[in-house]
Every structure is written in C-alpha cells, then in structure tokens.
Amino acid sequence: MEHKIIRGYITKILTKKDNGWAMALFCMENNAKMQIKIKGSISSMKIKMLYEIQGTIEEHAVYGKSFNVMNFKPAPVNSPEAVINFLSGNNFPGVGKKYAKLIVEHFNENTIAKIKENYQALYSVKDLPKHLAMIIETQLKMMDQENHLQILFYENGLKIDIYNSVKILCESEREANVVFENHFFSFAQRHKIKPFNEVDKVAVHFGLDVKSSERIGYWIQKNAVDIAFNSGDTYTSFGIIKRKTIKDLALTEEEYEQGLTYACENNLVYIDGEKFYSSEAWEDEQVIVDSLIEILKQKTTTKLKPDYEKEIKAIEKEIAFETGILNFKYDDDQIKALTIFIQNPVTLITGGPGTGKTRLIQGMIKLYEKIYRKTNYTIAAPTGKASARLKETLKLAIPGTIHKLLEADEKDNFRKNKDNPLTYDLIIIDEISMVDNHLFANLLNAKGELKKIVLVGDYNQLPSVSYGNIFEDLIRSNVFKKVKLNQIHRQKEGNGIIALAKAIETNTIDEFDWEGHREIETLFDSNVEKMLKNIQVDYQYQLENIKHSPFDYQVIAPMYGGNMGIENLNTFIQASFNKNITQSKEVYDRNRYRFAKNDKIMYLKNESTMDLTNGEIGIIQNLKMEHKKFIHADVKFDNGKIITLKPENFNDVSLAYAASVHKTQGSEYNRVVLVIEPGHASSMFLNQKLIYTAITRAKEKIMIVGNFNTLIQAIKTQARSRKTTIIDKLKQQII
C-alpha cells in the first residue's frame, strides 16, 4: 500500500487509549475545511500544532475513511498563512490573528526561523504588547525542547512507537529524555516496551556504551529468554549462553564476565550450578510451585455426604435428560475422578480422545454445586476453539480463554494479578498440556483465595509452544492426586482413530491393522506429485460431493518448509480451488501471501479488542477495494462471527488450508488429512507426541498421505524431554 505524507493540524482528539493509540480530526495545512480522521500511536501529538505525518489511507465500512499514521514529526512553519494560523492557535493564548499578522508583516519570510535566531527582535514589533511577545518566546522555546526527541527519533531511524510508549508514561519531554539516558533497558522491561533489538538501538543512541556491563547483562538475559522459547526448556547451560553472547556482541571473556556479574546482581538471570535461567523462567517455576503447595496445604472444607453416591446418580440422570443420552452413566475412572475432586484441593485428569473429559467436567460442576452449595467457579482453556467447545457442551457463560479470564491487554499485561486477584473458589482448566509455564504462573499469581484447582488434558499430546511442560511435570511429580481416563465414550468401540491413538501411546504400532478401520485412509507414496494429486482429489471430493464445511476439513503438516510443507500446501490448495486469486483487481498481496474472496485464513495472535484468539480460522467473505487499493476484508470465523480486518491486521494472518500441528491443537475436525513428507529435513523433528496430537484432531475420518517408513519412525521416536526443575522444586517443598 502506498505511503503518503501530509501536513496539517489536529483539531480534536476523538478517542484515546492507555497504550498511546488515539483517533483525532486532522485539518490540512492549506485547506482548513478539509479534515480527515487520523489514528495510530499519536496520543503525544498536540492540538493546533503543525505536523508532518506519514502513513496510509484506509476505509472502514462503519467508520469511513481514515489515515493510519506510521510516523509523525513537527513540521517547519514556512508560509505566511501557516505562520498566522500557528501563532493564533491555542499554544499562544491572547495573540490571535490580529497580532499574528503584525508579526508576519514585520519579519516577512521565514518568520519563525528569524524569531528563533533573535528572540529580542519580537519586542521591536510595532504595536505588539510585550506580554504577548514574552508568551511567544516562552512557548517557542518550550516547543523546541518538547519536540527535540520526536525529531531525533525520526531523523535517526529509531522506532517512533518506543518514543510514544515512553512519552505516555512521562509527564514531560525532559523526563522522557532522562528515561532514555538512564537505565532504559530496565524501564523498557518493566513496561514491556519491545522489540528488544529496537530498545537496544535507543539505549545505545542515548549514550549507553556498547561494551558496558549493563548492555551485556541485558543481552545475556535476552539470549536466555530466546533459548527457553526456542527449546521449550526452562534453563540452559552456562556454556551455551556464554558462547552465544560473546559471539553476538564480539566480546572478550572479561567483558562477558562483567556483564554476567551485572545480570546476576540485578536479578536478570539465575544460575544454579550449571543450570542457567532467565529471571522470568526461574520466577515462573517458583510461583507455580509455591502457589500449588499453598493450595495443597489447605484443609478440605467439606466432608462427603452420606448420600454421595445418590448425588452422583442424580447427576447422571440430569446429564441424560439434558443431552438425550439414554441411561448415561459415568465409568469407574470417572467416578474415581469425581471422588478425588471433592476430597482434594488439586486434581489432575488425563485422558485420550473420546474418554469423556468434558462430560466429567460437567459432572464436577454439578457435584460441586450440590456438595458445597456454591456457584463461585469458572472454567477456561488456552485457545478460543477449545473454550468454544466447552461453552457449547456445558451451556455455561464462562469467560472462555485464560487470557480473557486474566483480562489480558494488547501487550499481554494481565489486569488480574496478585494485587487484583480473581475471586473464585474453584478453577478448572481444560487442554492444560497447551499451557506454558508463564501463562500458568500468571494464572496462579492471580489465584486470590482459590480453594480448588482442576487441570484436565492429555499428557500424550504436544507440550506448549513456549517453555515448560507443566502438565506432564505435575503428573510425574506424584505430588498431586491424579486420574487417567481409559474407557472410550465419544465414539464406538473399534473406532480406528481411537485405536491408532492407543497404539501410538502404548508403543504397539507394529501390530496395528492399517487396513481394518474404515475411519482411517492411507495413501502411502513417496512421490511428491502423486501426494499433491491425492490431496487435490480428496479436497475436491470432500467439499463438492459431501458438502463439508471448510471448518470441518483440515490439512495438517508438521513443518512449514519443503515440497509438502505448510507454505507450499497452502499455495497449492489455494491455486487449485480458489479461482478468485486470478482476479487481479480483487486480491490483496501482503507479505508472502495473496488473499482473495473465499480464502480460508487463520488469525495468529490474541486480539482482545476484536474478540479474536490465536489460531482462529475464518473465511474471507469479501474484499473492499477502492481505486485498486485494499481497504478491508470481512471475515466469517468458525463461531459464526463476522469481523472486519484492516490492512494492518493482515500482518497477523496466514492462509489456513493447511496448518501446523501446534496451531490445530485444541481443535477438532470431522476430517483431517495428515501429510508426512519423505526424506525431508523435518524427519528429525517428527516424534510420537507430534503424530499423536495430529491424529487426535480427527473426529470422524483421517487420511494419511506420505511415506509409511517416515511415519512409523516418527511414531517410534520419543519426544525430547524438556529440561525443567518443577519436579525437583515440588519435592523439596514437600520434604
């Protein structure tokens, strides 16, 4: 999209947010009657001050045309008309157009520049009161001081969003300058100002020595955070951090040691023997352990009633009536889980697909209400799709995702925290295996007077994208009461998907009958062209003959790269089935994708303002174009809601004909096509948990396309155990 530069004044602030975003009316410099709405990180801009803004024009179906501001800076005031408007504005009270014209007539061209060269010349302007000359001098000097930082950021290629983030938190330009010049890394970390590399540029520009122990210390912490995120481990080795930091910053060993000392003294990192943690990873583990032990040590507030079994039977009748499931009964494992739930403050429930985990949650809620006579509980899940399933099954008005429960903002700051805690007595978290340590620690940090917590999931699935392996760690610790559900309820006995999942879990894949299950189709072939053709034929048949909704059919691949990777599959399927992409006037090219009407897309981050969560899938209903420029797209997501996405939103959008295993975790589809590419570098990343998670996304049918030997090798490859210290810390507390 074409970037434009326009000059003018803000005449009115329409709305403003705490994060610096604002919308305002902007008057063009040379045409006072021409106004446009501008928006962006502009809350530090002043009314009636001349600015040069850079950005793009957008159009919204409801809000109309607006200008999305990417950068701005105070503009030099040159023309006589502009100077008169400037001096008669709100920044110079009492001057007005009459005296402004006198000043312009006195100085002629370059009025403002001449005044700044010699402020005393103002006092020689005929008929200009001295007190007004003093106001003009004072205000111009103040503006120069206040605009200095904006201009500096603009001219030196520093990220203007960082300036805006700091300016919002400071009362003056002078205070902001002090922040930039003094320990800016610490300030940025406290206020979640990112990205790190841009923060680093600002800190160095404002005088921080590139070889200072402070800068090196924060780079050491940054490397520890990056390694934790990329590996999933909560700690790494001392040597890895040392080698990487010395290489990144071209340090001597002495310089590195000085930086390490700074990092340790300022609690940026923690070192325990050879274990090297970022402060966040270390503190998250401590919060998790301390909080769960605190809950565990609480006494059970209510003993089981003598007619407990009667209560269970009453619940079974209620569920049978509500669901239409005749003679609904809980199995022995589920009854054991209900008993443990009532008797214990912390309960862990694990079970594979179809073992009745959601119905068990429903029973827990009903039993809790009967035994405790309370409804002060909530249920949440890590993804929007998983929480939507819970809402649909349980018919409860629950917050939905954990992020919503904790009232997360755009920067993942949680409004619910230790100082502003939740007020529930019982919290149940579903799909817990997807929850990373940091999110779980924030949940427990906001637990308040929580008396019971139930964690439900499938420990055979992939762990979280970010660091930690909290569910498996808690189960393996043997500190908390746990129940494994074994009996299949959702699907009939003999279901091939369930049987395959069981064979993967129990390491009996060599005995599995690939031909004996109608729910499983296999097209084992190593020829890429044949694999693509098989997918194409299946896609065509499913969508046109069986009339599956696009939301019920999903292609899943382990990796993004390669001939059969997610990127190539998306391009191939889109080109095969969406002819709209050939209509050059009605497509939108953004980053590496081309988007058109009817495309299947995925939103890639949590966006509370639009009620969107990471991984939600939608279908583009239409693209609004104006003069060959993309204005917005209306997208229907799989819960039925239609949301308008603007150009800037498409930075967080991808095609979703094919998706990764992680992105589909927490979701279910009637039909899944799992693609296993032979001989690709991805083979080394394939493992049992990944294949198990992919297989169990299918509810009715699964088709496996690819190389049989690669699939079997992956199933027999145990996933690398993540390095954490939750279990050790729990056992230390218990002792």
Strand partners, 550: none
149/209 Cα distance (integer angstroms): 20
Strand partners, 24: 13, 38
171/732 Cα distance (integer angstroms): 47
219/197 Cα distance (integer angstroms): 10
User: So what's the pLDDT on residue 546?
Assistant: 47
Numbers of helices and strands, H then E, in the chain: 26, 26
Backbone angles phi, psi at 520, to 5 degrees: -115, 125
Q: What angle do CA 652, 578, 587 make, to 5 degrees?
A: 55
Question: In the structure, what pLDDT confidence band is assigned to residue 68 with cuts at 50, 70 and 90?
Answer: confident
Encoded tokens for 600: 């299947």
Backbone angles phi, psi at 116, to 5 degrees: -65, -30
User: Tens digits of per-residue pLDDT, 633-675?
Assistant: 999 988 788 999 988 889 899 999 999 999 999 888 999 999 9
User: So what's the pLDDT on residue 681?
Assistant: 46
Strand order through the sheet with 269-272: 236-237, 275-278, 269-272
Closest to 499 in 3D by CA, of 692, 661, 672, 212: 692
- The secondary structure element, H or E, covering residue 96 is helix 96-107
User: Tens digits of per-residue pLDDT, 221-238?
Assistant: 999 999 999 999 999 999
Average pLDDT over residues 167-182: 89
Question: In the structure, what pLDDT confidence band is assigned to residue 339 with cuts at 50, 70 and 90?
Answer: very high
486/482 Cα distance (integer angstroms): 13
Q: Is the pLDDT of residue 1 over 70?
A: no
User: Tens digits of per-residue pLDDT, 44-56?
Assistant: 788 877 888 988 8
User: Tens digits of per-residue pLDDT, 111-155?
Assistant: 988 898 899 999 999 999 999 999 999 988 887 776 778 778 877
Encoded tokens for 351: 């079970």
User: So what's the pLDDT on residue 690?
Assistant: 95
Query: Does the reported pTM lie above 0.75?
Result: yes
85/298 Cα distance (integer angstroms): 69
Encoded tokens for 72: 């701005």
460/351 Cα distance (integer angstroms): 9
User: Tens digits of per-residue pLDDT, 438-447?
Assistant: 999 999 999 9
User: So what's the pLDDT on residue 78?
Assistant: 72
Least confident window among 300-309, 405-414, 500-509, 578-587: 300-309
Q: Is the pLDDT of residue 2 over 80?
A: no
CB within 8 A of 48, min separation 6: which ones? 9, 10, 11, 86, 89, 90, 91
User: Residues 627-633: contacts with CB within 8 Å, 24+ apart?
Assistant: 628/585, 629/1, 629/2, 629/57, 630/1, 630/588, 631/58, 631/59, 631/60, 632/58, 632/59, 632/60, 632/61, 633/588, 633/595
User: So what's the pLDDT on residue 55?
Assistant: 87
User: So what's the pLDDT on residue 142?
Assistant: 80
